[in-house]
Structure 1
Amino acid sequence: MRVPGSVETVADLHLAFSYSGATLGLTVGELLAKEIASGNPHPMLATFRASRVN
């Protein structure tokens, strides 16, 4: 399970959780940093958002 991105119900909270952190950590970190700095969601992270789980 991968859960990168902001948590919509908690202001200014961003997650970067992954079971494959050793292989994806650098990429997810870079995409998430760009997302946080710009305020725009990155499309590559869309399918992994915490909001996808009900």
Structure 2
Amino acid sequence: MLATFPTTDSVPDGFTIIGVVRERAAAPVLVDGAPFEGAGGWDPYRDWDASRG
């Protein structure tokens, strides 16, 4: 499970901090030093096959 919590709250037991959410900046997101050109966000249906249910 992935969740976000306000910075003023403590993280509940069982959760591990893996990153932070930040306000969008003027600089692009970099991956290995180059601007990220891929699709943004997470699409839960990207690999979904309707014929398999």
Q: Same fold (TM over 0.5)?
A: no
TM-score in terms of structure 1 length = 0.19
Larger radius of gyration: 2
Greater share of residues in strand: 1
Greater share of residues in helix: 1
TM-score in terms of structure 2 length = 0.19
